[in-house]
Each structure stands twice: as C-alpha cells, then as structure tokens.
Structure 1
Amino acid sequence: MNSYLKIKQTFLKSVIAFILIACFQAKAQKSQFNIVGSWESIDYWKSKGKAGFTKDGYVSITINGEEIDGKNFIIHGGPNNGQKGELKYKIDIDKTPIEIDFIALKDNQEKGRLLGIIVPVNDSKFLMLINMNGKRPDSIDHDETMTLTKIE
C-alpha cells in the first residue's frame, strides 16, 4: 500500500509539472511576438504597402504610395486639414488573438481609433485584420485580412 501511494504521488507531481511547463512554454511562445520593425504588407486585393512600428508606440504606413509618418503627419481633409497629427498603436499580446489599436491623435488628444487583431504566422510574418466600424474582429477569417512580412 505504501509503494502504491508513492507511485500515485510521483504520478501526480509529474502531471502537475507537465501542466506547468506547458503553460509557461505557451506563455513564452506567445510573448515572443515582436511587432517593432519594418514590414511589407499585402492585402486581399494584392495591393502592397509598408508599415513601421517603433518601440515608443508610433506607426508609420504607406498605402497606395502615400506615406503617413506616425510621429509627424499632416492631416488631409476635414476640420483639421493641414494640421499636424500623430498615429500610434497599442498592442495586447496577452489576448488571443492578439489585439491591436491604431490611435489618431491631435494635440495629445485621441481623435479616433481603429480596432484590429493579429495572428502571428512565424517570427517574420503575421496576419492582421482591422475593422473600420468601431468593433474589434473576432477572427482572422475575413476577405480583408492583410499579410505583413518583416523587411528589417
């Protein structure tokens, strides 16, 4: 009976250790995603662009040849036409899928926010879907998904 209890305790300890290791590995794999850097993007319609994410939270994008410098861009159109604005991003890698917000600022005040999700493919590629209607997408299975590939 005594050896049976020892075997049972050893088995339970092994199962708990396995579960803890698996949880820590999953967390470590998830936290390895790093968006900082320069990326080439291609959308569903095969339109190419570029995106740059800085450590201090700025994003710069090039769409259809038009570059938006996140730290210093000039607003085109609307009541703020010709004025300076900023474009920042906020990412939450602890969510599944990873959540990303693009935040437009003027005079340090938020003027708008686009909500999106990211699904990493590997260290140098991820899928991103941004919703323009103020609601965060639930999943990446949508026609307007973009693929971003690291270039720097």
Structure 2
Amino acid sequence: MKYLFTFFIIPVLLLSTTTQKEVFVGKWIGEDQNEIGYLVFDNEGYAAFEINGQVMGGKEFYMKGKKGKMTYSINYDTTPIEVDFTLTKIESGESKKILGIAEFTDKNTLNFNMSFDTDRPTEFGEDTMVLKRVQ
C-alpha cells in the first residue's frame, strides 16, 4: 500500500511544479507608455522583451555591441508572485537584475509591474501593465 501511495503522489507533485512554470511560458502582449510590446517566457528559463521589432533578451542578443542573455526566475510562494529577470553579459559574466511582481486575473491575463531600480515593486498601481497571452 505504501508503494502504491508513493507511485501516485510523486508524479502529481512533479506535475504541479511543472504546471506552475508553464503558466508563464508563452508570448504576452501589453502596452507601456503608448508603445505596444511583447514579453516572452520560454520553457528553458529565458525571457525576452520585444518593442518595435527590437528584441532584448533570450538565449543570446546584442546590446551596445556586447553579447548577452536574459533569464527569469519565478517565486510562486509569495503574494504577489515575484518575477526576476537577470541580464548577463556573456563575455564578462557581469549581471543585473530586474525585479518584478505579477498576478493572474485569469489564465490568459496578467497584471505585471517591474522596477529597474534595486527595489521590487510591492503593489500594482499606475505603472502596472496588463499583459494578454497571444501564444
């Protein structure tokens, strides 16, 4: 009986952790300061911002002539959900974090707020972007 219990419980726990990450995976569209842009979360842990056809982030991109990458991490144990982006210069390893918060209003709509400073936003206000899933 103990083995049967383990056989069913472990897969359910593993499934729930993958499902949480997959909730964010996809392409999201939003508007910020009257500009339409996209935020992409992939299933390998990379994220990218796309505004006016310019992509910043992902597995490999160039910014000011330097090659970089942008990864993300999500903390579901907090309310609101914490979303952190890490921009890393590939050559030097130097990195910078962008701290954000998120909350789902439904499975395809996300309130999102982020800060380029060292302080994480704590609430959703006038700087909040509403993102809609497009993929």
User: Normalized against structure 1, the TM-score is what?
Assistant: 0.69
**Unpaired segments of 5 or more residues in structure 1?**
1-26, 77-81
Show the 5 A alignment for 1:45-124: 45-76=33-64, 82-107=65-90, 109-124=93-108
- The question of 1:41 aligning with 2:25 is answered no
State the distance in 2 between where 1:98 and 1:117 align.
5
How far 1:107 sits from its partner (Å)?
Answer: 2.7
How far 1:69 sits from its partner (Å)?
Answer: 4.1
- Name the amino acid aligned to 2:62: I
Conservation of the 8 A alpha-carbon contact between 1:101 and 1:113: yes
How far 1:110 sits from its partner (Å)?
Answer: 4.6
Q: Which has the higher strand share?
A: 2
| RMSD (CA atoms) | 2.2
What do residues 128-151 of structure 1 show as CA deviations (whole Å, max 9, x unaligned)? 1001211111111x2111111000
**Unpaired segments of 5 or more residues in structure 2?**
1-15
Conservation of the 8 A alpha-carbon contact between 1:33 and 1:120: no
Conservation of the 8 A alpha-carbon contact between 2:57 and 2:87: no
How far 1:32 sits from its partner (Å)?
Answer: 8.4
Q: Secondary structure at the match of 1:34?
A: helix
Structure showing greater Rg: 1
State the distance in 2 between where 1:94 and 1:46 align.
32
